[in-house]
């Protein structure tokens, strides 16, 4: 097999006169002469120039958009604008034909909706090439960040019997014939006869298991798929999404906020440094989209400027109570412009409120802390006031909630009382409660929705466009 060189490497080479072999997919073929070839290693195509006078007519006909080809030729300096090198073709082999009449991806700008319907082929476009290279870089940076800090990467189970968030938004898992499950004497489905001998579901979060590990390793993180059967058909929700959940012993809420802020700045900084060309392309894309919006709705900063701003400035930190005051007194609220009017303390914030705080009021990421206990999960540490918990959510412009976390309730009596109040059966979480029985300690953690991070970093606006095969209500085609 001939060694091939990736196009990214060839484009950076100055070894003029040397022979190279490149393999990729044809983007365009102009004037029977100029092939724009891409192999996914970079957003940029390489130009391969065919000597059409000395090439078989039948071969030329097969160089079509989408075809897989192997090209061997001489690396030469390019006289064309915007490219330093090109390849003067000596031989070309068609590896896989692509019928232009049938191939859905044409050399033109397709709508994102159209590409969603062709998600199996959309990686071959500039936009999705850039998005998924950035996604990869972010994932790599996540591991790099935690590894440098000595965190242990834990793999928590996907099949589980617990509901970590207590929100009941779970996909059930069973091996029963769902049309005819075995039933007990009361006529209820008899999960004792199921594979695990009990009812199970797909995990909504790895946090509870993460806490167990933090109580041994000190600092751990998870990074895996999580599943929520919430029927929210929005541009920010997926039924299957990836979450990063660090959990740290001996951390309080302030340590937790500091870590989360440093983490977000680090991974975005990594992409700014390593994915410049993809970000420039995505920035131009976004700028064009912004032009379609009315002037007052356009964002003031370009994509790269926005990311630089986030990495260079402190996040705002305020309590829920302070946020409610800001919202209550906002013109938006007084003029009844919010869909959900904030009237009293205790209400859960809707995404319109979150976005008002970050986009209109502070114009930067905001960490909101100390929420009322009644709108948060059972495991959060109760404050002295008996009304609020040591929760923190990080909100960012254009997205809303990116992170949800808290200092955990480490006091056994307080935790069991809270679970009782909320109707969470202690017998089912006996193993979780054991951490509070045996060497309990102050600890904290958070969960960051990976796709929301990719959305923020790429400037894309629909979460379906930053995960390869989105799972949303009525959509599991590919
Ligand atoms: O706020 P959430 O529900 O928190 C937890 O699951 C905690 N157990 C995390 C922890 O403390 N270890 O979810 C955390 C983040 C959200 O802030 C959001 O970014 C993302 O996960 N998220 C979703 N992303 C996409 N689609 C959904 N349906 C999401 N639900 C939550
Ligand atoms: Mg949350």
- What is the residue whose two structure tokens read 């309080």? 252
Determine whether 280 is exposed, middle or buried from the number of CB atoms within 10 Å of its CB (0-12, 13-18, 19+): middle
ipTM reported for the complex surpasses 0.90: yes
What Cα–Cα distance (Å) separates residue 192 from each residue in 15, 159, 173, 200, 426? Answer: 68, 16, 13, 11, 20
106-163 per-position pLDDT tens digit:
988 999 999 999 999 999 999 999 999 999 999 999 999 999 999 999 999 999 998 8
Cα 388 to middle of ligand 1, angstroms: 20
Nearest to 88 by CA among 124, 34, 12: 34
Cα 165 to middle of ligand 2, angstroms: 9
pLDDT, averaged across the chain: 95
Nearest to 89 by CA among 14, 26, 134, 179: 26
Measured from the Cα of 164, ligand 1's closest atom is 8
Do 156 and 203 meet the contact criterion of CB atoms below 8 Å apart? yes
Cα 265 to middle of ligand 1, angstroms: 19
Q: Could you tell me what percent of the chain has a pLDDT over 90?
A: 92
Nearest to 135 by CA among 450, 351, 399, 359: 450
Cα 472 to middle of ligand 1, angstroms: 16
Could you tell me if the CB of 205 is within 6 A of ligand 1?
yes
Nearest to 221 by CA among 147, 139, 140, 166: 147
Could you tell me if the CB of 397 is within 6 A of ligand 1?
no
Cα 278 to middle of ligand 2, angstroms: 30
Closest Cα to atom 1, ligand 1: which residue? Answer: 404
Region 196-218 average pLDDT: 97
Q: Could you tell me what percent of the chain has a pLDDT over 70?
A: 100
The alpha-carbon radius of gyration of the chain (Å, integer) is 27
Could you tell me if the CB of 241 is within 6 A of ligand 1?
yes
Closest Cα to atom 30, ligand 1: which residue? Answer: 237
Could you tell me if the CB of 243 is within 6 A of ligand 1?
yes
pLDDT band at 477 (very low <50, low <70, confident <90, very high): confident
Could you tell me if the CB of 451 is within 6 A of ligand 1?
yes
pLDDT value at residue 232: 82
H helices of 149-227, where? 207-217
Report the DSSP pairing between strands 34-38 and 46-49. Answer: antiparallel
Is the per-residue pLDDT at 262 higher than 70?
yes
**Pairwise pLDDT comparison (231 vs 195), residue with the higher score:** 195
pLDDT value at residue 219: 98
What DSSP state is assigned to residue 420?
Answer: H
CA distance 396 to 402: 7
What DSSP state is assigned to residue 110?
Answer: P
Ion ligand 2 contact residues with beta carbon within 5 A:
404
Closest Cα to atom 26, ligand 1: which residue? Answer: 237
Cα 396 to middle of ligand 1, angstroms: 14
Report the DSSP pairing between strands 366-369 and 316-319. Answer: parallel
Residue 452, phi-psi category: left (phi > 0), alpha (psi -120 to 50), beta (remainder): alpha
In the three-class reduction of DSSP (H, G, I as helix; E, B as strand; rest coil), residue 21 is classed as strand
Do 449 and 402 meet the contact criterion of CB atoms below 8 Å apart? yes
Is the per-residue pLDDT at 54 higher than 80?
yes
Cα 405 to middle of ligand 2, angstroms: 8
Comparing 51-60, 229-238, 273-282, 414-423, the range with the smallest average pLDDT is 229-238
Could you tell me if the CB of 227 is within 6 A of ligand 1?
no
Measured from the Cα of 447, ligand 1's closest atom is 9
* Test site for ligand 1: of 449, 452, 454, most ligand atoms within 8 A of the Cβ: 449
Angle between helices 253-274 and 126-148 (to 10 degrees): 130
CA distance 78 to 47: 9
Considering every ligand atom, which ligand is closest to the CA of 470?
1
pLDDT value at residue 235: 95
Question: Could you tell me how far CA 25 lies from the centroid of its own chain?
Answer: 27
CA distance 29 to 27: 7
Could you tell me if the CB of 162 is within 6 A of ligand 1?
no
pLDDT value at residue 2: 67
CA distance 366 to 327: 14
Could you tell me if the CB of 156 is within 6 A of ligand 1?
no
Measured from the Cα of 446, ligand 1's closest atom is 11
Considering every ligand atom, which ligand is closest to the CA of 448?
1
Angle between helices 450-458 and 253-274 (to 10 degrees): 50
Region 377-389 average pLDDT: 97
Do 220 and 154 meet the contact criterion of CB atoms below 8 Å apart? yes
CA atoms within 13 Å, Cβ hemisphere of 169: 15
Cα 215 to middle of ligand 2, angstroms: 23
pLDDT band at 339 (very low <50, low <70, confident <90, very high): very high
CA distance 36 to 316: 46
Could you tell me if the CB of 207 is within 6 A of ligand 1?
yes
Considering every ligand atom, which ligand is closest to the CA of 407?
1
**Helix, strand counts (H, E) of the chain:** 14, 16
Closest Cα to atom 31, ligand 1: which residue? Answer: 449
pLDDT value at residue 263: 99
pLDDT value at residue 165: 83
Nearest to 204 by CA among 172, 232, 250: 172
CA distance 13 to 239: 44
Could you tell me if the CB of 228 is within 6 A of ligand 1?
yes
CA distance 141 to 135: 10
Is the per-residue pLDDT at 28 higher than 90?
yes
CA distance 83 to 399: 36
CA distance 442 to 392: 16
What residues does 25 pair with on adjacent strands?
38, 68
For 371, phi then psi, to 5°, come to -75, 160
Domains defined for the chain, CATH in brackets: 7-103 (2.40.50.140), 126-169+204-465 (3.30.930.10)
Do 267 and 145 meet the contact criterion of CB atoms below 8 Å apart? yes
Cα 195 to middle of ligand 1, angstroms: 29
What Cα–Cα distance (Å) separates residue 444 from each residue in 267, 432, 465? Answer: 21, 15, 32
Cα 125 to middle of ligand 1, angstroms: 30
Question: Under 8 Å CB-to-CB from 158, ≥6 apart: which residues?
Answer: 202, 203, 224, 225, 227
Could you tell me if the CB of 452 is within 6 A of ligand 1?
yes
Dihedral angle of Cα 395, 223, 151, 315, to the nearest 10 degrees? -10
What Cα–Cα distance (Å) separates residue 349 from each residue in 238, 327, 346? Answer: 20, 10, 9
What residues does 85 pair with on adjacent strands?
77
Closest Cα to atom 20, ligand 1: which residue? Answer: 449
pLDDT band at 1 (very low <50, low <70, confident <90, very high): low
CA atoms within 13 Å, Cβ hemisphere of 377: 22
Nearest to 450 by CA among 267, 287, 295, 327: 267
């Amino acid at each position: 097999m001939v060694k091939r060189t990736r196009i990214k490497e060839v484009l950076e080479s100055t070894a003029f006169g040397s022979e190279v072999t490149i393999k990729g997919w044809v983007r365009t073929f102009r004037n029977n002469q100029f092939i724009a070839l891409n192999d996914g290693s970079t957003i940029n195509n390489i130009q391969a120039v065919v000597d059409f006078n000395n090439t078989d007519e039948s071969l030329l006909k097969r160089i079509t958009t989408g075809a897989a080809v192997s090209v061997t030729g001489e690396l030469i300096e390019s006289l064309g604008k915007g490219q330093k090198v090109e390849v003067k073709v000596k031989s070309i082999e068609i590896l896989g034909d692509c019928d232009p009449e049938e191939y859905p991806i044409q050399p033109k700008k397709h709508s994102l909706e159209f590409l969603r319907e062709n998600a199996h082929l959309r990686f071959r476009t500039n936009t999705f090439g850039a998005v998924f290279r950035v996604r990869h870089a972010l994932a790599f940076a996540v591991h790099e960040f935690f590894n440098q800090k000595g965190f242990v990467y834990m793999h928590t189970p996907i099949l589980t019997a617990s509901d970590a968030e207590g929100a009941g938004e779970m996909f059930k898992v069973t091996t029963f014939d769902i049309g005819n499950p075995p039933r007990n004497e009361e006529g209820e489905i008899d999960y004792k006869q199921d594979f695990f001998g009990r009812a199970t579901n797909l995990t909504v979060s790895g946090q509870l298991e993460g806490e167990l590990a933090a109580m041994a390793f000190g600092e751990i993180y998870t990074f895996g798929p999580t599943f929520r059967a919430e029927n929210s058909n929005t541009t920010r929700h997926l039924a299957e999404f990836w979450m990063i959940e660090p959990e740290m012993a001996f951390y309080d809420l302030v340590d937790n906020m500091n870590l989360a802020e440093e983490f977000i700045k680090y991974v975005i900084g990594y992409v700014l440094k390593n994915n410049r060309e993809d970000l420039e392309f995505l920035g131009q894309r976004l700028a064009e989209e912004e032009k379609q919006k009315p002037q007052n709705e356009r964002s003031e900063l370009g994509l790269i400027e926005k990311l630089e701003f986030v990495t260079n400035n402190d996040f705002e930190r305020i309590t829920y109570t302070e946020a409610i005051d800001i919202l209550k007194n906002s013109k938006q609220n007084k003029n009844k412009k919010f869909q959900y009017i904030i009237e009293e303390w205790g209400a859960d914030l809707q995404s319109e409120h979150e976005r008002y705080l970050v986009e209109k009021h502070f114009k930067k990421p905001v960490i909101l802390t100390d929420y009322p206990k009644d709108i948060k999960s059972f495991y959060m540490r109760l404050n002295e006031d008996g009304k609020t918990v040591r929760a923190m959510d990080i909100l960012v412009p254009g997205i809303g909630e990116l992170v949800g976390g808290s200092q955990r309730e480490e006091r056994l009596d307080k935790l069991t009382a809270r679970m009782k109040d909320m109707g969470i059966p202690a017998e089912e979480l006996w193993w979780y409660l054991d951490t509070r029985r045996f060497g309990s300690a102050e600890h904290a953690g958070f969960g960051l929705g990976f796709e929301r991070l990719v959305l923020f970093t790429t400037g894309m606006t629909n979460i379906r466009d930053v995960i390869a095969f989105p799972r949303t209500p009525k959509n599991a085609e590919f």
